[in-house]
């Protein structure tokens, strides 16, 4: 199995008022096929910066990043991004359908594009809202539009930056379950950033703990919990609770 992303000794510095501000330090990470990677850490620890490096939106100051063995210099093909702020990320003058088509409309024929949009909307259960405008939808639905837009490009990796952080608990739970289903249906790998430890365990096959600034990955957990996951039962499993306390300690112990 070849790795999708390989990160070696990645470091990132921003220059603020002429002073160097370290953001990430010595990050090593391998992203494999068909897995969900969650990266959990406190706010301001460099989680988003790490995701932006994966997406080719920021270049690391140190180290190497490869996507399918190619160095990453700009956003690579096959990588899709889902941002936290859905309202800024969707185009308000485009209908849901046209928003979802954004990534594919140039490369596909009109018919093929429409087909693909339909399929993506079906995946996120929004087939009935194709002609609506994003701002006519609830927050959870808007976030699903953003996920559909990403899926329409048939990505090999989905990069998600705290996508459910702004949503209420119930919407969040149902979107978490949908995400697990989507992974099974599409076979895309997912890198998921969150500050919610339970969410990280519930979704993740692999959980990495990021402590910072400057952000460093201090521990990894391979989550072995039974599928299908269930919002009540999974969260009550002793193994789940053990992961929760271990990760909690991993974050607190070093901050």
111 burial level (CB within 10 Å; 0-12, 13-18, 19+) = exposed
**247 by DSSP, 3-state: which?**
helix
Query: d(Cα 169, Cα 40) in Å, to the nearest integer?
Result: 18
Among positions 20, 44, 59, 77, the unique one binding other proteins when judged by CB under 8 A: 77
Q: Please state, in angstroms and as integers, the Cα–Cα distance from residue 186 to each residue in 5, 57, 147, 181, following that order.
A: 18, 24, 12, 9
Query: d(Cα 142, Cα 95) in Å, to the nearest integer?
Result: 11
Does 94 engage in binding with other proteins (CB under 8 A)?
A: yes
Does 81 engage in binding with other proteins (CB under 8 A)?
A: yes
Main-chain dihedrals φ then ψ at residue 46, nearest 5 degrees: 105, 10
Site string (47-66) toward other proteins, x via CB under 8 A: --------xxx---------
Q: Least distance from C-beta 76 to other proteins, angstroms?
A: 10
Among positions 83, 164, 202, 243, the unique one binding other proteins when judged by CB under 8 A: 83
Site string (108-127) toward other proteins, x via CB under 8 A: --------------------
Among positions 17, 135, 224, 227, the unique one binding other proteins when judged by CB under 8 A: 135
Main-chain dihedrals φ then ψ at residue 103, nearest 5 degrees: -85, -15
Site string (189-208) toward other proteins, x via CB under 8 A: --------------------
Binding site for other proteins (CB under 8 A): 55-57, 74-75, 77, 79-81, 83, 85, 88-89, 91-95, 102-103, 106, 133, 135, 153
């Amino acid at each position: 199995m070849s790795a999708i992303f390989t990160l070696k000794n990645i470091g990132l510095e921003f220059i603020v008022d002429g002073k160097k501000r370290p953001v990430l330090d010595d990050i090593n990470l391998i992203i494999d096929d068909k897995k969900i990677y969650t990266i959990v850490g406190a706010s301001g620890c460099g989680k988003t910066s790490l995701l932006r490096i994966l997406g080719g939106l920021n270049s690391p100051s140190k180290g190497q990043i490869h996507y399918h063995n190619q160095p990453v210099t700009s956003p690579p093909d096959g990588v899709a991004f889902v941002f936290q702020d859905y309202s800024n990320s969707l185009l308000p003058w485009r209908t849901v359908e046209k928003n979802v088509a954004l990534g594919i409309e140039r490369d596909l024929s009109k018919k093929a594009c429409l087909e693909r949009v339909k399929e993506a909307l079906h995946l996120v259960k929004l087939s009935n809202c194709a002609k609506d405008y994003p701002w006519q939808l609830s927050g959870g639905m808007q976030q699903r539009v953003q996920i559909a837009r990403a899926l329409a490009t048939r990505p090999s990796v989905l990069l998600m930056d705290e996508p459910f952080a702004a949503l209420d608990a119930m919407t969040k739970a149902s979107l978490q379950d949908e995400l697990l289903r989507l992974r099974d249906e599409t076979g895309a790998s997912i890198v998921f950033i969150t500050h919610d430890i339970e969410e990280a365990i519930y979704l993740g096959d692999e959980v990495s703990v990021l402590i910072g600034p400057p952000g460093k990955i201090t521990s990894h957990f391979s989550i072995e919990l039974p599928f299908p996951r269930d919002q009540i039962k999974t969260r009550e499993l002793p193994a789940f609770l053990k992961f929760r306390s271990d990760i909690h300690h991993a974050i607190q112990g070093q901050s």
